Amino acid sequence: MAAELVNVNEFQELARQALPKMYYDFYSGGAEDQHTLRENVEAFHRIIIRPRILVDVRRIDMSTTILGYHTSAPIMIAPTAMHKLAHPEGEVATARAAAACNTIMALSFTSTCTVEEVASSCNAIRFFQLYVYKRRDISALMVQRAEKNGFKAIILTVDTPRLGRREADIKNKMIVPQLKNLEGLLLAEVVSEKGSNLEAFASQTQDASLCWKDIAWLKSITNLPILIKGVLTREDAIKSLEVGVAGIVVSNHGARQLDYVPASITALEEVVLAVQGKIPILFDGGVRRGTDIFKALALGAQAILIGRPIIYGLAAKGEYGVRRVIEMLKDELELTMALSGCCTLKDISRSHVRTEHERRQCRL
Ligand SMILES: Cc1cc2nc3c(=O)[nH]c(=O)nc-3n(C[C@H](O)[C@H](O)[C@H](O)COP(=O)(O)O)c2cc1C
């Protein structure tokens, strides 16, 4: 009998065994030297928790609201592309797991199930992640379809004017499958003799001219709240406030775009301080443990999103695997809260963590 899985990291090896190398490399890889990829995880290890003792922790409440939507925990599913490469049921299985766990799923623009299929599969609360294409009509149509199908917010990803250089995909000549969402709108089949077809596809489609003034355009075509995903600096946090978005996702795209940007967790507090509580700040990148979630919340995130572990769960065990990943993280967060003397998310404060920077200052 196979040994019981005890943490989400263990799904990665199962996914590696289950997937063709080209797809596993696509999911797991980062850009260039993959420095930021390692840092996304390792920077969490350098943050220390300062627990409080002698608190009655018989009841722990992890529930919260995100943009007004109630969830069982501050954990969301990040938008990640092409779930059917991981499992035949694709994004529908992921959405069902989100519904079972009472959490929010962000559906990727480049999904392999349509917004309609995902919407009709279950009652999960869904946000729609948007890329702005050179063909603005396609992006506008996708926003309309998401709105019509009950998606509750638009997550505009802004860190991808061009695709980051993912060397494994180049070596493997990564092939883009038919993106069902875009069927009839755009041919995903780009055949590039050289390197990654994904890169060739992105350079044909992504609008590299997208800039701050275009937020007004997006607002003019939708009534949904807009979150900007990919903010890493105080300068861009302030601009996000100026253009009037509903929230920010601090993210470096799972270290798949520009290498040597800071680990997301290192950038989080800078953004939090710039925004001064005016809009919610979500966070993703490198979250693998309940303690990671606790640290991100202590540094000011309202909720976190999970990318790769969800895909690994899906690849290893379908919908059940995704559910297990979320449940494991919830269980770990609950235990972390109990052992830190925090009964509700509001109890988690800045003084519950000490960053590497603060620890260095103490030694001086
Ligand atoms: C395989 C893969 C595909 C992704 N596809 C998208 C995407 O389509 N749109 C997007 O905004 N972000 C995408 N991301 C980034 C995730 O939304 C998220 O920022 C990142 O995965 C978080 O880091 P983690 O994987 O360490 O949890 C992708 C990430 C991965 C690993």
CB distance 257 to ligand 1 below 6 Å: no
Whole-number percent of the chain with pLDDT over 90 = 90
Relative to the CA of 229, which ligand 1 atom is closest?
Answer: 11
Which pLDDT score is estimated for 188? 62
CB distance 28 to ligand 1 below 6 Å: no
CB distance 66 to ligand 1 below 6 Å: no
Tell me: is residue 79 an annotated ligand-binding position.
Answer: yes
Question: What's the token pair of residue 354?
Answer: 């000490």
CA of 342 to the centre of ligand 1 (A): 30
Tell me: is residue 133 an annotated ligand-binding position.
Answer: no
Relative to the CA of 78, which ligand 1 atom is closest?
Answer: 17
CA 64 – CA 78 distance, rounded (Å): 17
- Catalytic positions are 253
CA of 50 to the centre of ligand 1 (A): 30
Which pLDDT score is estimated for 190? 60
Which pLDDT score is estimated for 183? 86
CA of 183 to the centre of ligand 1 (A): 22
CA of 254 to the centre of ligand 1 (A): 5
CA of 253 to the centre of ligand 1 (A): 5
CATH superfamily of 10-363: Aldolase class I (3.20.20.70)
Which pLDDT score is estimated for 279? 98
Relative to the CA of 129, which ligand 1 atom is closest?
Answer: 11
Q: Where are the domains of the chain?
A: 10-363
69-118 pLDDT per residue, tens? 999 999 999 999 999 999 999 999 999 999 999 999 999 999 999 999 99
Give the chain as a 3 state SS string. CCCCCCCCCHHHHHHHHHCCHHHHHHHHCCCCCCHHHHHHHHHHHCCEECCCCCCCCCCCECCEEECCEEECCCEEECCCCCHHHCCCCHHHHHHHHHHHCCCEEEECCCCCCCHHHHHHHCCCEEEEEECCECCHHHHHHHHHHHHHCCCCCEEEECCCCCCCCCHHHHHHCCCCCCCHHHCCCCCCCCCCCCCCHHHHHHHHHECCCCCCCHHHHHHHHCCCCEEEEEECCHHHHHHHHHHCCCEEEECCHHHCCCCCCCCHHHHHHHHHHHHCCCCCEEEECCCCCHHHHHHHHHCCCCEEEECHHHHHHHHHHHHHHHHHHHHHHHHHHHHHHHHHCCCEHHHCCHHHEECHHHHHHHHC
Tell me: is residue 253 an annotated ligand-binding position.
Answer: yes
Relative to the CA of 155, which ligand 1 atom is closest?
Answer: 11
258-301 pLDDT per residue, tens? 999 999 999 999 999 999 999 999 999 999 999 999 999 999 99
Tell me: is residue 56 an annotated ligand-binding position.
Answer: no
CB distance 103 to ligand 1 below 6 Å: no
CB distance 286 to ligand 1 below 6 Å: yes
- Name residues of the chain where pLDDT drops below 70: 1, 187-193, 363-364
Tell me: is residue 61 an annotated ligand-binding position.
Answer: no
Which pLDDT score is estimated for 1? 65
CB distance 306 to ligand 1 below 6 Å: yes
Which pLDDT score is estimated for 178? 82
The residue nearest atom 14 of ligand 1, judged by CA position, is 80
Q: Which residues is 71 bridged to in the sheet?
A: 64
CB distance 29 to ligand 1 below 6 Å: no
